[in-house]
Amino acid sequence: MQPTKSRAGNGVASNPARWAVALILFASPVFAQLIPQQKQSNLASFESVWSTIRDKHWETKPGGLDWEAIHAEYRPRVEAATSTEAARAIMREMIGRLKQTHFAIFPAAVYQVLDADGGGDGWPGFDVRVLDGRVIVTEVRQPQSNIKTGWEVLKSNGTDLAPLVTKLQADPAIHELQLERAVTARLSGQVGATRSMVFADQNNARVSLDVKLQQPRGQLSGFGNLPPQPVWFESKKLGNTGYIRFNIFLDLVHIMQQFGDAVQQCAHCDGMIIDLRGNPGGIGAMAMGMAGWLVKQTGERLGVMHMRGATLNFFINPRAEAFEGSVAILVDGSSASTSEIFAGGLKDLGRARIFGTRTAAAALPSVITRLPNGDGFQYAVANYISQGGKPLEGNGVVPDVEVKLSREALLAGHDTVLDAALDWIGKQKVSQ
Amino acid sequence: MTTFSRLTVLFALAGAFAVAQPLPKAETILDRYNEVTGGKAAYQKHTQEIMTGTISFPAQGLGGKLTRYALAPNNEYSALELGPIGKIESGFTNGVAWEKSSIMGPRVKSGDEKDQAAREALFDAQVDWRKIFPKAETLGSEAVNGEDCYKVLLTPPTGKPETRFYSKKTGLLLKTTTTAISPMGEVAVEVEVSDYKTFDGVLFPTQSKSKMGAQQMNMVITNVSFDQPAPAGTFDLPPEIKTMVDKAAGK
């Protein structure tokens, strides 16, 4: 989908760099002849994609296909391709034969859209979500700021956000999680730097503010080769309902300890709400460990992961002090991976009721590498089947109660998803 | 028959003769291993063992340290401190096999998993291999990293069998394949060992490379000491495990 002319026009005019990106994306000469080096790099990219799937796919016959025959069919076509775009289209067609998600090829130029301009850990002090194509402030963590929940972020450092959202939403290979990361990156930068932002306030009046970027919330925590990520955890009581939220399944020792403490401190609560909205996942085993604080029965599991050469049960080891009351889990399109394994498994076991919107359907461990021609290649290395018998890949977790955030509710100080979960827990208490 | 043909037949017969050589019995191979690694007396001289080392998962960039205490006849305690995963402890005491970790909490093992832990806790498992593997048979010959080995199948009374590969030349164990049992499922494991070093008269492999599905794990033993007392309480059941055991026993 092309951006609307007016929005595209604004973006191009205000940021020459994005104009260049747009040109790369939409105005590449389709019929340009490839120089031998480009042809060779496309062929090397094809071999890399084909052999990676042959060697890493969890099925020895990927997607039930004769993968050698696929090579024989597609290599001559890539050899004959007259442009990088044509070669990419052929490779996309090849991986499309798998009929499995999380196999994707991103044009090199898309990285320029996805990547933050400038990079850095600096955080503007508020969180955003993309609601109905608009970037909306959902939480403000900087009390002294004039910014309010429900405001729309229109521009950051002169860049219109709406055309960026439109462009990314038009690409089926980019899901909500990636979209929100791309948007968040536009609001981030070096700690201490200032970003000029333009908002639409509660009256849709334009408000221009210079926002100083601060240290990201939480403590940095790494895991092996994974670069350190900021990790935070919060728990509180909303009336007599426990509320737990953390941004990522990392910093295992501390987060598991805090999760266990929060559950035990709420042993007599009416219910427990675990908010996984925006949580992209992390260490899969943490889902098993947390489920042990919520499930009393032995012999249960969240699901099964199938890898090449191994099948692993995501088993639950019930804790002696496991919580026995009602459990609600809040999710959205940015709840991915371990969040989905946790929410989907507990839903399938009938242990939790899910509120929000469908999750990212990105429950498989997948890897993104760069190909010789500069394109990005994402591939999955395992399949995960939730306890209900369905793969989470491509399906995600469908909430029991679908509730969307809305700008209007946020402006009125309401979190509609949280309200629905609290309402359900209240009714459960009455019915008991 | 030409000379060439006669030679061909001769070599063929020689080959057949070589193939027809009877394989040594499994017990001969296993007892030879005990001999070349120090002998029964050296093994049985000790009643306590402390082993320290390092462990790494190279693909994930994870590493940590490992400590294992063993006390005859069958008490065992291991602690693995694996960076961001935290501490994973396991043990076997008074017939109870257990595990405790930051992720999963305390757990008492049962079934085949418990039996496997019991076999691994037996202090004299190496010299008393007949106690834990009532059935042992030599399956044939197979090379491990280019070295000719005898392939021996060992079958315990319960659980999964394991296959070991002993060098024909040195008698040393070079590889083991088996199935690891846990609540996560049964996973085929292949362990190659190397770098044998002597600790108080007993030869130990100090390096191992294990493959479990797509995972690879490396271990390096840095020290083995004998008959140094373990810290007090090392083999006691952790309180949470004791509570679980008592509850299961109706106490």
Distance, CA of A65 to CA of B25 (rounded, Å) = 46
Helix A36-56 vs helix A67-80: crossing angle, to nearest 10: 170
Are A312 and B187 an interchain contact pair (Cβ–Cβ within 8 Å)?
yes
pLDDT of the residue at B9: 39
Instruction: Identify whether residues A188 and A312 lie together within a single domain.
Output: no
Query: Do residue A162 and residue A260 come from a single domain?
Result: no
* Nearest residue of chain A to residue B99 (CA atoms): A317
pLDDT of residue A391: 87
What pLDDT shows up at residue A15? 31
**Helices (H), strands (E): how many in chain A?**
13, 20
Interface contact flag, B188 A222, Cβ < 8 Å: no
How many C-beta neighbours within 10 Å does residue A121 have?
A: 16
Residues B176-190 have pLDDT tens digits of 999 988 898 888 999
Reply yes or no on whether the pLDDT at A159 is more than 80. Answer: yes
Q: What is the pLDDT of residue A110?
A: 54
On whether the CB atoms of residues A230 and A247 are closer than 8 A, the answer is: yes
Q: Do both A187 and A251 map to the same domain?
A: no
- A184 and A50, same domain (yes or no): no
| Residues A139 and A225 placed together within one structural domain of the fold | no
pLDDT at A30: 29
For residue A127, give both structure tokens: 């969180």
pLDDT digit string, tens, across residues A110-143: 555 444 454 678 899 999 999 999 999 999 987 6
* Interface contact flag, B103 A315, Cβ < 8 Å: no
B245 touches chain A (CB under 8 A): no
Q: How many CB atoms lie within 10 A of CB A262?
A: 23
End-of-domain residue from the set A160, A183, A212: A212
Q: Please indicate, yes or no, whether residues A255 and A393 belong to a single structural domain of this protein.
A: yes
* Fold classification of B45-132+195-248 (topology level): outer membrane lipoprotein receptor (LolB), chain A (2.50.20)
Nearest in space to A75 (alpha carbons), one of A108, A51, A55, A98: A51
- Whether residue A106 is contained in a domain is answered as no
How far apart are alpha carbons A86 and A69 in whole angstroms?
21
* Chain A environment of B185 (Cβ under 8 Å): 310-313
- In the predicted model, residues of chain B with pLDDT beneath 70 are 1-21, 59, 214
A108 in any annotated domain = no
CB-defined contacts A:B, below 8 A: 76
Mean predicted lDDT score pLDDT of chain A: 85
Contact status, residue A90 vs residue A53, Cβ threshold 8 Å = no
Q: Are residues B61 and A312, on separate chains, in Cβ contact within 8 Å?
A: no
Tell me whether A312 touches chain B (CB under 8 Å). Answer: yes
The pTM of this model reads 0.82
Q: Which pLDDT belongs to residue A394?
A: 80
Q: Inform me whether the pLDDT recorded for A304 exceeds 60.
A: yes
- Of A357, A354, A320, A314, nearest to A338 by C-alpha is A314
A314 touches chain B (CB under 8 A): yes
Determine the Cα–Cα distance for residues A135 and A182; give it in Å rounded to an integer: 11
Long-range contact set of residues A262-267: C-beta below 8 Å, sequence gap at least 24: A262/A235, A263/A293, A263/A294, A263/A321, A263/A322, A263/A323, A264/A321, A265/A235, A266/A237, A266/A242, A266/A323, A267/A321, A267/A323
Q: Report the gap between the CA of A54 and the closest CA in chain B (Å).
A: 14
CA distance A115 to A21: 12
The residue from A42, A71, A100 where one domain ends is A100
Kindly state whether residue A155 falls inside one of the protein's structural domains.
Answer: yes
- Name which of A202-216, A277-291, A356-370, B222-236 the model is least confident about: A356-370
Given CB atoms, is B102 within the 8 Å cutoff of chain A? yes
Contact B230, B50 (CB under 8 A): yes
Chain A residues with beta carbon closer than 8 angstroms to that of B242: none
* Structural domain boundaries, residue A83: 5-100
pLDDT of residue A221 exceeding 60, the answer is yes
**ipTM over cut 0.95:** no
Task: Report which secondary-structure segment, H or E, holds A180.
Answer: helix A176-187
- Shared domain for A323 and A381, answered yes or no, is yes
pLDDT tens-digit series, residues A322-380 = 999 999 999 999 999 899 999 999 999 999 999 999 998 887 766 667 789 888 887 77
Say whether A317 and B104 touch across the interface (CB within 8 A).
yes
Point out the residue among A225, A252, A288 whose CB comes nearest to the CB of B60.
A225
- Cβ atoms within 10 Å of A353's Cβ, excluding its own: 20
Q: Which sequence spans correspond to the domains of chain B? A: 45-132+195-248
* Residue A245 resides in a domain: yes
What's the domain count of chain A?
A: 3
Give the ranges where A15-127 is alpha helix by DSSP (H). Answer: 16-26, 36-56, 67-80, 84-96, 108-114
Are residues A281 and A410 located together in one domain of the fold?
Answer: yes
Contact A182, A176 (CB under 8 A): no
Please check whether residue A184 lies inside any domain of the structure. Answer: yes
Residue A315 with chain B: CB contacts under 8 Å: 183-184
Gap from B99 CA to chain A (nearest CA, Å): 11
Q: CATH code at A263?
A: 3.90.226.10
Residue where a domain stops, chosen among A212, A246, A263 = A212
Section A184-206 average pLDDT: 93
